[in-house]
Amino acid sequence: MSLSLFDLKGRRALVTGSGQGIGFALAQGLGLAGASVVLNGRDRGKLDKAAESLRAQGIEVAVAAFDVSDHGAVVEGIAGIERDVGPIDILVNNAGIQRRAPLEDFAVETWHEVIRTNLDSVFYVSQAVARAMIPRGRGKIINIGSLMSDAARYSVAPYTAAKGAVKNLTKGMCTDWARHGLQINAIGPGYFATPLNQALIDNVEFDTWLKKRTPAGRWGRVEELQGVCIFLASPASDFVNGQIIYVDGGVLATL
């Protein structure tokens, strides 16, 4: 198969929550595959630092700092990118947070924070971007789900609810928008060594359990998500739609 199927030259990718961790790695991967990238997050300083790192690798980068959990900010932010930077060909909905507490003690305001950041933002950004993609007749939307799109662990039920909904929202987006030439899919990362998981990495008991539970016997490296993201962003996946691909070292494959 020709490698040109995975070539992203001439395409522009917006990656939300891309100042660090998985989002930064995905933006890097798309950029190294030829795309120009737009970094998004709330911390402009962090985004500028990330952009500097990517530019040093020869990647064309723009920065768009806005809060994806704020609908008004999203509408304004996407319009600004389309107007001032250029058309968005690829969207990666990566922004997310984690909050841990027993469900019976979970604060209502924290529940809404988790749902707003991990689920509502996917709808807000996707809708705003799709409204521009649909008249162009093409576009790739990649939602970042989780193992928790299909499973659960103690103390993260709201996150599990949000990521399960992202999986089904991906199917809903496909059902509505595939007819317009869009492909909407999701990636379900397993346990990766990121700032979001630092508390778990530092927990010796959890670290030991995870390595025994995962057939690959280790935490994932964020760079290991780049290949599947490039695939879903490229012409190679033009008839793949409404799917979630788990990248988890085999966790969901075994009891």
Residues noted as catalytic: 159
Instruction: Give the helix/strand (H/E) hosting 20.
Output: none
Rounded CA gap, 228 and 33, in Å?
A: 12
Question: Buried b / exposed e across 83-96, counting CB within 10 Å, b at 16+?
Answer: eeeeebbbbbbbbb
Around Cβ 235, how many Cβ atoms within 10 Å?
Answer: 15
Task: Give yes or no for a contact between 111 and 118, defined as CB atoms under 8 angstroms apart.
Answer: no
Helix axes 157-177, 108-115, angle to 10 degrees: 30
What value does the CA radius of gyration of the chain take, rounded to a whole number of Å?
17
Beta bridge partners of 183: 140
Task: Concatenate the DSSP letters of all residues of 207-221 into one string.
Answer: HHHHHHHSTT-SPBP
Task: Concatenate the DSSP letters of all residues of 161-227 into one string.
Answer: HHHHHHHHHHHHHHHHHGGGTEEEEEEEE-SB-SGGGHHHHT-HHHHHHHHHHSTT-SPBPGGGGHH
Task: Concatenate the DSSP letters of all residues of 111-150 into one string.
Answer: HHHHHIIIIIHHHHHHHHHHHHHHHHT-EEEEEE--GGGT
The CA angle 30-232-243, to the nearest 5 degrees, is: 145
